Amino acid sequence: MKQHRAEDALRPMSRRLRTLGVVNIGDLQAFLNLVKVKHGITRRESIVSAVHAAKHATMLLDGLACMSTRLQDGCRQIYTFHYPGDFVALHRYVFPQSTEHIEVEALTNCSIGTIDNEVLEQTVRHHPALGLALWRAAMIEASIFRQRMVTMRRPALQRVAHLLSEQLVRRIALGFANNVIPVNQIEVADAAGLSTVHTNRIFQGLRKLGVLSANRHAVEVINKKRLMELGSFDRRYLNFRETLSQWDIRIEG
């Protein structure tokens, strides 16, 4: 019963680990057995502090979160968004002593999973494929950061288009059927490095171009192709195709 529900909750991790190259069922199961599930994280709540992150590896099981930091002037820089199956705050796993001020914040109600750091270390030692998978997850994140540096040099419309393209592609890869990205304009602005006012004008532009729906209270993509063209989106930096094709993982939904 409880066990049964936990397995459902862990499905995103199972899928993610397989796309990261964990092909051996024993490796996979060894990992899944360690995860403690925690439901009921609410919007705005801090995920890393909520689980005393320095002692645990943390992963997002359900909902939407973001890795961000508060700047001196009070504004928030969102580094990346996190979807179910993402490991969050991996930097704290390899640098437990780190004093970086990085927050992971729930943007919707979330469920998370945690694994005690020491237990995970032991397990990784016996299942090297797991260590490599974690490393790969971190490297994909780094690719996202690099890509963002490139994108930030482009004008605002293309920048936002690229950002939304990335979210859409990542969501589709996880099997989300609809084209609604559950973020608001403030969050897009903080991620794109734009003011909310200008971001709003960009959204109006994207709506006039028929890329986003007229729905004012949702980010709903109605012309995916055009969006990606505008953003010059090239998914290669996400390192999806390789892992997906190599292990023949189905993309459901």
**Which residues of the chain form contacts with a second copy (CB under 8 A)?**
69, 71-72, 75, 77, 79, 90-91, 94-95, 97-102, 124-125, 128, 131-132, 134-136, 138-139, 141-143, 145-146, 148-150, 152-153, 193, 232, 236-237, 239, 241-243, 246
Site for DNA in 151-210 (CB under 7 A): 155-157, 159, 184-186, 193-198, 200-201, 203-204
Please give the helix or strand (H or E) that residue 253 lies within, else none: none
**CB of 126 or CB of 208, closer to a second copy:** 126
226 binds, among DNA, a second copy, none (CB under 5 to 8 A by kind): none
**CB of 38 or CB of 154, closer to a second copy:** 154
- CA-to-CA dists, residue 197 to 78, 150, 220, 240, angstroms: 17, 23, 19, 34
53 binds, among a second copy, DNA, none (CB under 5 to 8 A by kind): none
d(CA 251, CA 245): 11
d(CA 118, CA 172): 34
Site for DNA in 204-243 (CB under 7 A): 204, 216-217
d(CA 133, CA 148): 23
Q: Are 210 and 222 in contact (CB under 8 A)?
A: yes
Is residue 76 a contact residue for DNA (CB under 7 A)? no
d(CA 37, CA 105): 17
- Per DSSP, the residues of 211-239 read SB-S-TTSEEBS-HHHHHHHTT--GGGG-
Minimum Å gap between C-beta 183 and DNA is 8
146 binds, among DNA, a second copy, none (CB under 5 to 8 A by kind): a second copy
Tell me whether residue 160 is exposed, middle or buried, using C-beta atoms within 10 angstroms of its C-beta: 0 to 12, 13 to 18, 19 or more. Answer: buried
**CB of 140 or CB of 183, closer to DNA:** 183
Give me the amino acid identity at 149: M
Minimum Å gap between C-beta 241 and DNA is 30
- Per DSSP, the residues of 19-49 read HTT---HHHHHHHHTTPEEEEEEPTT-BHHH
148 binds, among DNA, a second copy, none (CB under 5 to 8 A by kind): a second copy
77 binds, among a second copy, DNA, none (CB under 5 to 8 A by kind): a second copy
d(CA 155, CA 206): 13
197 binds, among DNA, a second copy, none (CB under 5 to 8 A by kind): DNA
171 binds, among a second copy, DNA, none (CB under 5 to 8 A by kind): none
Minimum Å gap between C-beta 216 and a second copy is 27
**Site of interaction with DNA (CB under 7 A):** 155-157, 159, 184-186, 193-198, 200-201, 203-204, 216-217
